[in-house]
Structure 1
Amino acid sequence: MTDFLTQSLDELSLDEAARPKAPPVSEATDIHRRQGRQLAAIHRHYLMEIAQIGAVLARIEALDTPPEHLKRIVLSLDMAENFRAFGSLCGRECQVLKMHHDIEGTDMFPRIEAAAGGKFREVVAKLKAEHEVVNELIIRLGHAADALAEDPSDGKFGQAAATFRKLEEVVRSHFGYEETELAEAIGYYLGSI
């Protein structure tokens, strides 16, 4: 596990150039690929939730809504409630994303690795490392939203907005990589998700 405490927001990255490619699953059919693309549908839901935060930030930047609304909206999103059980202030929306990553890491990834005889080990390791970056950004967004609600200054707003934008950038990139590299494996080895 990486120590993120010393890393700045800019240093939290996915190192896209170091992403290994998944081996082809030569036995996979178009039906398997369609089944594997179910992951993209799940990801679209999370991206819609993240877009809600972006819309609030845009309204605050346009001076259409007070900054304290960001905390209320972040805490009311679909992912937030469950994440609170793990001690984060980000809310349910963030929890569901973390839970999604936990399920992948403890169930889906090991099943793919086992069924494929370890051929996806490098891709899975990279995806798990990316999950850690996403989770750190979720925690930081929760803290930034709380700080903004306590002190709705331009500086606190700028920090919350920068953290959100970094989270959105990282999540979009991560989802794209995961969907591309695992579609065949999910469909062929798991049947669907």
Structure 2
Amino acid sequence: MTDFSSTPLADLDLDEVSRPKAPLVPEATDAHRRQGRHLAIIHRHYLKEMGQVGAVLARIEAGDAPPEHLQRIVLSLEMAENFRAFGSLCGRECQMLKMHHDIESADMFPRIAAAGGGKFLEVVAKLKAEHEVVHELILRLGKAGEDLAADPNDANFATAAETFRKLEAVVRSHFGYEETELAEAIGYYLGAI
């Protein structure tokens, strides 16, 4: 596992240029591709939850509510219990995203990497490396959320907002890559998720 703890936030990127392309699965049918696209449905859930947090940040930045009212605004959302339970901006959803990635890395990715004579090894290795960046950003967002809750000032808000936006951009990019490159393989080799 790579240690990103001293990497500046601006440098926590996915290196999209180096992303390998997955080989085609000539035997895959439209039914396999539909099964493989179920991953996108799971991803949409995470993106919806992130969108709720982003909406709160946008309200605050637009002057609708000062940072010291962040907790009250966040706690009025449907995700209130999530935020209370984990004490961060990302709350339960970030923990669920981490669990989602852990399951992929421990089960789905190894099975796909072994499929088709190992044709997917490079794509799976890249996806696992991207998970490490996402996890570092989740840790940083948790810390930024805790700092903001402890001292709701403009500087802490700016740090939390910047970290959240970075996480959201990285997650969107990662999900898109994963969905595009693995749809056939998931449907054909795993049957569905």
Question: TM-score, normalised on structure 2?
Answer: 0.90
Corresponding residue number in structure 2 for 1:48 = 48
Contact 2:114 2:121 in 1 (8 A): no
Code of the residue aligned with 2:33 in structure 1: it is R
The alpha-carbon deviation at position 76 of structure 1 amounts to 7.6
Quick check: 19-28 or 62-71, which moved more? 62-71
Which runs of structure 1 show a deviation greater than 3 angstroms over 4 or more consecutive aligned residues? 68-81
Per-residue CA deviations over 1:32-79 (Å, capped at 9, x if unaligned) read 111100000100000000001101101111232342554573898499
How far is the alpha carbon of 1:158 from its aligned partner? 0.9
Sequence identity percentage: 71
SS of 1:14's partner is: coil
How many pairs align?
189
Tell me the TM-score normalized by structure 1.
0.90
Q: CA deviation at 1:29?
A: 0.7
Q: Which position in structure 2 is the counterpart of 1:64?
A: 64
- Gaps spanning 5+ residues in structure 1: where? none
Map Cα deviations across residues 112-152 of structure 1 (whole Å, 9 max, x no partner): 12232211000000000000100110111111111112222
Alpha-carbon distance in 2 for matches of 1:62, 1:119: 48
Alpha-carbon separation, structure 2, partners of 1:55 and 1:154: 18
C-alpha distance in 1 between matches for 2:81 and 2:175: 16
Match for residue 131 of structure 1? 131
8 Å Cα contact 1:134/1:170 also seen in 2 = yes
Residue of structure 2 equivalent to 1:176: 176
CA distance, structure 1, for counterparts of residue 192 and residue 115 of structure 2: 14
Sort the Cα spacing of 1:69 and 1:124 in 2 relative to 1 into closer, same or farther, 3 A: farther
Q: What's the RMSD between the two structures over aligned residues?
A: 2.3
Supply the distance in 2 between the matched residues of 1:95 and 1:65 (Cα, whole angstroms).
27
SS at match of 1:159: helix
Q: Which residue of 2 aligns with 1:15?
A: 15
**3-state SS of 1:21 partner:** coil
C-alpha contact 1:148 1:157 (8 A) present in aligned 2? yes
Residues 109 and 124 of structure 1 are in contact (CA less than 8 Å); yes or no, is this contact kept in structure 2?
A: yes
Question: Structure 1: which amino acid aligns with 2:128?
Answer: K
Maintained 8 Å contact 2:67/2:154 = no
